[in-house]
Amino acid sequence: MTQESTDLRETVRRRYAAAATQVTEGGSACCGETDACFGAAHYQDGERDELPVEAVAASLGCGNPTAVADLREGDRVLDLGSGGGIDVLLSARRVGPTGKAYGLDMTDEMLALALANQRTAGVTNAEFLKGTIEAVPLPAGTIDVVISNCVINLSTDKRAVFAEAFRVLRPGGRLGVSDVVADDALTPADRAERGDHVGCVAGALSFAEYREGLRAAGFTDVSVTPAHSVADGMHSAVVRAVKPR
């Protein structure tokens, strides 16, 4: 990892550690300096009502991956960059007692908040792991569904993220992600003009780059579908893909 990548990761870690602390102290979190992430607005009232207020307050996503991931009873789900745990807790309830939901995050403060939210919610079929999304601490072929919510754009090594998602999925497993994606015409410099890296904009892939990256990792049935605009030429998008059987 280059020094620039290391510095960016540390900037992201500090930003989300501060967000977790804000929520723990009774405030709410937001995603960097931009409007790229709208958090709890993407969840239905019924979903928000069944979760601790701290889990909802800590939501920093740009979508609701649990609504597009086609979760089924008994599935084992992994949330890349699980933050305060909102998507893990929702997933755990959807997959039922025979399934399990894992949350992976690199920030101690977010992990502590997620564990507190899990206790408050009384969810027993969830587990939170410390680590990076570029090096998932789970065995190969053990996950049915990988989800993520406005996090992959923050990684400085997205090919490693896609490779790890592919590795941990069982054959036939699915990827269902919400992320910020750029129009193909926008250069990296154009993206940086629209928002910073920690604000979920500067590090975003283009539509073509996202599709190519997932296919290079081995995924099939790849689709990247815009959902709503977050900046000029930048979109919250629903990303789906399948690991071949």
Q: Walk me through the domains of the chain, giving residue ranges and CATH numbers.
A: 3-242 (3.40.50.150)
CB environment 164-198: b (16+ within 10 A), e (fewer): bbbbbbeeebbbbbbbbbbeeebeeebbeebbebb
The pLDDT of residue 37 is 47
Predicted TM-score (pTM) of this structure: 0.87
Residue showing tokens 């939210």: 117
Q: Highest-confidence range of 16-25, 54-63, 144-153, by mean pLDDT?
A: 144-153
Indicate whether 131 pLDDT > 90. yes
pLDDT digits (tens, 9 = 90+) for 34-70: 444 445 555 555 555 565 555 555 455 677 778 778 8
The pLDDT of residue 7 is 79
Report, in this order, helix, strand and coil percent for the chain, each rounded to 5.
40, 25, 35
8 A C-beta contact, residue 105 and residue 111:
yes
Indicate whether 75 pLDDT > 90. yes
Measured distance CA(172)–CA(198) in Å, rounded:
33
Determine the average pLDDT of the residues in 202-231: 96
Q: For residue 134, what are its two tokens?
A: 């570029």
The pLDDT of residue 215 is 98
Angle at 18 between CA 12 and CA 22, to 5 degrees: 145
The pLDDT of residue 2 is 80
Measured distance CA(73)–CA(96) in Å, rounded:
6
Confidence of residue 25 (pLDDT cuts 50, 70, 90): low
Q: For residue 217, what are its two tokens?
A: 């990792």
8 A C-beta contact, residue 150 and residue 31:
yes
Backbone angles phi, psi at 177, to 5 degrees: -130, 140
8 A C-beta contact, residue 61 and residue 87:
yes
